[in-house]
Amino acid sequence: MSYYLVRGGQALRGEVPISGAKNSVLPILAATLLNGGRSLLHNCPDLRDVRSAIQILQHLGCKVSREGDTILVDSSVVDRWDVPHELMREMRSSVIFLGPILARCGRARLSLPGGCEIGQRPIDLHLSSLRKLGVSIREQGGDILCEARDLRGGDIILSFPSVGATENTILTATACPGVTRLINAAREPEIADLQAFLRKTGVLVQGGGESVITVSGESPRNDVEHTILPDRIETATYLCAAAACGGEVTVTGAEPEHVGTVLQCLTEAGCRVRCAGRTITLQAPRALGGMSPVRTMPYPGFPTDAQAPLMAAACTGQGTSLFIETIFENRFRHAAELARMGADIRVNGRTALVTGRPLHGARVRSTDLRGGAALVVAGLAAEGESIVEGITHIDRGYERLAEKLTALGADIRRVEA
């Protein structure tokens, strides 16, 4: 069981490059099924989840190769329409392959993705959208079997701006004759990135990043070259680490506009933040103050994925902050692990009240991807040594974490046990 050995107390200084966004490269890799040709994707992070998505594409018949941060997908041949059970278990967000497989093959078979550490993660919004587009869906022994019998475009209203349901609906709609209008769509930047990719294949889609997205059912045909947008949650994580440890850090290759709510919280807590083009420089105060209530919301509200790293930073300060998690029902599991480091966090349902105080090192275990990153942030700021176990969670979403932190002066190393 590999773990991170972290010795806290070092201020962080220097520059850290931001990688491509996990939550953009995954739906775009799925979308490469659509054009039946070549897709050249740049700025792809090397993550466990990306490797899982590549395995799925290869299982379906695609040729996939990687050179550095560039992935080449050739989807000329797609001769399967199922996602293997073990790959669905490995990565629940594989459900994003449902729409593209349906659009390409006319049918799809996936095992139900099931819940995960942060919540039930139902896919009812995905399935109700697809049914409205003319997809017949039946469940059989934990699998969903989908047939695109009489696909047709139409108006679809999402009861919640689900990111995955928005992506699956757009991708399925590319195969539906007529026009599909998706209302109350997710507005996350990753949706706009997916739209930019699809437009290069020849699909007429517009409104990505807004609440109403329109797709004209066109058969995608062009080969594509696309650069994945920077990871806003990785950006937030490194800024929270700098805020917690003290010092001055510049993230490069970032998109400041995508982390506006996080920058606002860190500024309120006493950090000096300067944005210039694709860089963000954060100068930490001697001790972080409190923040106004941090309420997670769909984009452009505060991102739920940045809640745990920001909570870790708040734990190390001197102020009091209230976190309200409105997106997932079980996303405070990192609080108990942070408490082992001396953090004062009072969890009550979907709220967590944090009173900052000095932390001490401890042996802790990652609960999920972002909760694991929060434990690393806390360990970097704590007095003494911490062991962070369960880091395969963290490998899913952070490329070269220990290497990037070490370059900032952190004392952290990965131990393969």
CA-based torsion, 133, 136, 141, 143: positive or negative: negative
Quick one: CA dihedral 60, 62, 66, 71, positive or negative?
negative
For ligand EPZ, which is the closer residue by CB, 169 or 321?
Answer: 169
Shortest distance (Å) from residue 357 CB to ligand EPZ: 27
| Residue 29 or 284 with smaller CB distance to ligand EPZ | 29
Among 34, 50, 110, 163, binds ligand EPZ (CB under 6 A): 163
**What is the rounded CA–CA span in Å between residue 187 and residue 203?**
19
Query: How many residues touch ligand EPZ (CB under 6 A)?
Result: 25
Residue with tokens 């989908």: 146
Site membership for ligand EPZ, residue 371 (CB under 6 A): no
- Site membership for ligand EPZ, residue 164 (CB under 6 A): yes
Binding segment (CB under 6 A) for ligand EPZ, from list 50-58, 101-109, 115-123, 244-252 = 115-123
> Per this entry, what is the length of the chain?
417
3-state DSSP of 79-116: CCCECCHHHHHHCHHHHHHHHHHHHHHCEEEEECCCCE
Handedness of CA 37, 43, 49, 51 (dihedral sign): positive
Q: Which CB sits closer to ligand EPZ, 37 or 119?
A: 119
* Of the candidate residues 10, 19, 23, 180, the single one contacting ligand EPZ (CB under 6 A): 23
Residue placing its CB nearer to ligand EPZ in the complex, 47 or 382 = 47
Closest approach of Cβ 102 to ligand EPZ, in Å?
Answer: 16
Q: Is 26 one of the binding residues for ligand EPZ (CB under 6 A)?
A: yes
Q: Rule CB under 6 A: say whether 157 interacts with ligand EPZ.
A: no
Stretch in the footprint of ligand EPZ (CB under 6 A) among 163-171, 343-351, 357-365, 403-411 = 163-171
Q: How far apart, in whole angstroms, are the C-alpha atoms of residue 171 and residue 96? A: 9
Binders of ligand EPZ among residues 376 to 405 (CB under 6 A) are 397
Q: Does 123 bind ligand EPZ (CB under 6 A)?
A: yes
CB 42 within 8 A of CB 226: yes
At closest approach, how far in Å is the CB of 297 from ligand EPZ?
10
**Closer residue to ligand EPZ (CB): 229 or 362:** 229
- Map tokens 């979403």 to a residue: 397
**Least distance (Å) between residue 399 CB and ligand EPZ:** 13
Contact indicator for 191, 25 with CB cutoff of 8 Å: no
User: Least Å distance between CB 296 and ligand EPZ?
Assistant: 9
342 binds ligand EPZ (CB under 6 A): no
The closest of 348, 353, 401 to 374, measured between CA atoms, is: 401
Question: Among residues 62, 116, 146, 271, which one is catalytic?
Answer: 116
Distance of CA 48 to the CA centre of its chain: 13
For ligand EPZ, what does the binding mask look like between residues 181 and 210, x meaning CB under 6 A?
-----x------------------------
What is the CA angle 192-195-199, rounded to 5?
140
* C-alpha–C-alpha distance, residues 44 and 83, integer Å: 22
Which residues are bridge partners to 414 per DSSP? 4
Residue 62 annotated as catalytic: no
- DSSP assignment of 3-48 equals EEEEE--PPEEEEEEPPBPHHHHHHHHHHTTTTSSEEEEES----H
Q: Does 304 bind ligand EPZ (CB under 6 A)?
A: yes
- CA 360 to CA 34: how far, in whole Å? 51
365 binds ligand EPZ (CB under 6 A): no
User: CB under 6 A: which stretch of 22-30, 104-112, 284-292, 317-325 binds ligand EPZ?
Assistant: 22-30
For binding to ligand EPZ (CB under 6 A), which residues are involved? Answer: 22-23, 26, 93, 119-126, 160, 162-165, 186, 304-305, 327-328, 369-370, 397
Active centre residues (catalytic): 116
